[in-house]
Structure 1
Amino acid sequence: MKTVVVLLTLIFFANGKEEARIVGGEELDDISDYMFVVALVSKRGEFAGGGTLIDSRHVITAAHCWQGNGKVVVGSNDLISNGKEYSVKRFVSHPDYTTHRTIANDIAVIILSEDVSEITEFPKRPTAKLNDYDTSCKVLGKGVTGYPEPGTLSKKLKLAYVKPVPQSECRDKWKEWSSSFKVDDKTICTFSDDAAALMGDSGGPLLCDDKLTGVVSFGMPSGGGYPDVFTEVYFYNDWIDYVIKNY
Structure 2
Amino acid sequence: MKCLIVLVALTTLAIAKPAARIVGGEDVDPPGKYPWQGSLQSFSDFHSCGTVVISNKYVLTAAHCVISQSPATRKVVLGMHDKDTRLEGNPTDYNIERIDNHPLYTSGPPTYWANDVAVLTIEGTIDLTDQYVSAIGMADENSPDFSDNEDCHITGWGRTRGGGPSPNILQEANIDVLSPAECRANRPGQIYDYHICVGKRFTADQGACQGDSGGPLSCRHNGNWVVAGITSWGNSFCATTQASVYARVGFSGIRSFIREITNM
Q: Deviation per CA, 1:41-77, whole angstroms, max 9, x where unpaired?
A: 0245421100100011110111001152421001111
Which one of the candidate residues 150, 168, 188 is aligned to 2:181?
Answer: 168
Give aligned pairs, total: 226
Q: Deviation per CA, 1:162-198, whole angstroms, max 9, x where unpaired?
A: 11112222223223xxxxx421212211112364331
CA contact (8 A) 1:24 1:145 kept: yes
**For residue 152 of structure 1, what is the aligned residue in structure 2?**
165
Which one of the candidate residues 224, 228, 231 is aligned to 2:247?
Answer: 231
Q: CA RMSD in A?
A: 2.4
Q: 1:121 to 1:115 in 2, by over 3 A?
A: same
**What are the equivalent positions in structure 2 for 1:98-247 lying under 5 Å apart?**
98-99=106-107, 100-102=109-111, 103-117=113-127, 118-119=129-130, 121-127=134-140, 128-136=142-150, 137-147=152-162, 150-175=163-188, 181-192=189-200, 193=203, 195-198=205-208, 201-209=212-220, 210-220=225-235, 221-235=237-251, 236-245=254-263
Which one of the candidate residues 59, 79, 95 is aligned to 2:83?
Answer: 79
Output the CA distance in 1 between the equivalents of 2:62 and 2:17: 13
Output the CA distance in 2 between the equivalents of 1:93 and 1:48: 17
CA contact (8 A) 2:55 2:135 kept: yes
Q: Partner amino acid for 2:36?
A: F
Q: 1:245 to 1:135 in 2, by over 3 A?
A: closer
Instruction: Give the C-alpha shift of residue 29 in structure 1.
Output: 3.7
When the two structures are superposed, what TM-score results if normalisation uses the length of structure 1? 0.82
**Unpaired segments ≥5 residues, structure 2:** 1-13
Q: Deviation per CA, 1:192-217, whole angstroms, max 9, x where unpaired?
A: 23643316700000011121111011
Instruction: Give the C-alpha shift of residue 240 in structure 1.
Output: 1.0
Output the CA distance in 2 between the equivalents of 1:222 and 1:109: 26
CA contact (8 A) 2:173 2:206 kept: no
**For residue 30 of structure 2, what is the aligned residue in structure 1?**
30
Q: Partner amino acid for 2:138?
A: R
**For residue 178 of structure 1, what is the aligned residue in structure 2?**
none
CA contact (8 A) 1:98 1:104 kept: yes
- For residue 145 of structure 2, give the secondary structure of its aligned residue in structure 1: coil
Instruction: Give the C-alpha shift of residue 78 in structure 1.
Output: 1.8
% identical equivalent positions? 29
When the two structures are superposed, what TM-score results if normalisation uses the length of structure 2? 0.77
Output the CA distance in 2 between the equivalents of 1:113 and 1:216: 24
**Unpaired segments ≥5 residues, structure 1:** 1-5, 14-19, 176-180
- The structure 1 segments of at least 4 consecutive aligned residues displaced by more than 4 Å after TM superposition are none
**For residue 54 of structure 2, what is the aligned residue in structure 1?**
54
**For residue 65 of structure 1, what is the aligned residue in structure 2?**
65
Q: 1:80 to 1:237 in 2, by over 3 A?
A: farther
Instruction: Give the C-alpha shift of residue 152 in structure 1.
Output: 1.9
Q: Partner amino acid for 1:171?
A: R
CA contact (8 A) 1:29 1:156 kept: no
Output the CA distance in 2 between the equivalents of 1:123 and 1:49: 18
Which of 1 and 2 has higher RCO (CA within 8 Å, sep 6+)?
2
Q: 1:145 to 1:65 in 2, by over 3 A?
A: same
Instruction: Give the C-alpha shift of residue 122 in structure 1.
Output: 1.6
Output the CA distance in 1 between the equivalents of 2:97 and 2:146: 37
Output the CA distance in 1 between the equivalents of 2:244 and 2:164: 21
Output the CA distance in 1 between the equivalents of 2:85 and 2:249: 29
